[in-house]
Every structure is written in C-alpha cells, then in structure tokens.
Amino acid sequence: MGAVNLRLATSADLQALCELRIEFLAESRGIRPDDFPGRLSDDTRQFFERTLSSGRTLSWLVEDAGRQIGLASVVVHDVPPLPEDRRSREGYIINMYVRPGFRGRGIGRRLLDACLGMAVDQGICRFYLYATPSGRPMYEQAGFTNHKDWMVVQVPRD
C-alpha cells in the first residue's frame, strides 16, 4: 500500500463516488455491480450532484497511489431542537465502504472519524447509520449503540 490520502470529495469525484457506492451496494446484497439496473449509476450521480452542491451531503474519499479505495458520506438533515439540546441537525452516515483488498488497515476508522469530526462545524447533535455485520464492531467501538437495525451515537455538547 502506497501513500494513503483521506480527503473531502468534490464534484470532480462524481464517478468515483458512484462506483464505490455501487460496489458497496452490490457487496452488501451479494450480487455483482453489473446486476443493478442501468439507471442506478445515473440516479446515484444525480443524487451526489444535487446534494454535494447544496452541502446536504459531505463525502470523503481515501486514495492509495491515486486510486480511490474507500468512501464515506454524511447526509445532513435539519431537525427541530429539543429543550435539552438546541442543535438542530443530524447526520446520516451512508456509503461506508473500503475495497476488499484494503480492509483491516484502519481505513474504515479514518473514514468514520472524518464523518464524526464534522459534527461541531455542522451543528450536528447525533449521527445514525445502518450497520452491516462486518462494520458493527467498529461502530460500537466508536460509541454507537444499537436501536434495532440502526445504530446511533449522540454527539457530546461543547
């Protein structure tokens, strides 16, 4: 493995974002990426174009020698504040994926830390995600708790 670089994705990364997301979906469903309908790639691209430009989604890529090997995204939602917590945004972590040949090297944790690290700047009070069985231990280690199929972590206040 060469020099691994984690960075915030931009609109110039749309192709990589789409490819990695579709690989993630295919793996989690036990199928080949080519088995999805042809529109999925176009629809995914439109999602990222729309939500990246509006700031509603932030995505991070990990690269090894110029090749994209990992992805994580946070979709930011506005929510009404609570009496005990006036912050009014939640983050939904999606697309947490590291290509198989690069797993077990802390890349997933770096991606998760990047997602969680944006909480203060974005005014996020909590994150939630759907955990795959392989990702669950890492999320638990990061403080997420189980709520049926979902896992949630509350962001501490300043």
Q: Where are the domains of the chain?
A: 4-154
pLDDT of residue 12: 96
How high is the mean pLDDT of the chain? Answer: 92
Residues 150, 112: contact at Cβ < 8 Å?
no
Residues 39, 31: contact at Cβ < 8 Å?
no
Q: Model's pTM, two decimal places?
A: 0.88
Rg (CA), the chain: 16
* CATH topology assigned to domain 4-154: Aminopeptidase (3.40.630)
pLDDT of residue 153: 85
Q: Looking at 5-9, 39-43, 65-69, 130-134, which range is the least confident one?
A: 130-134
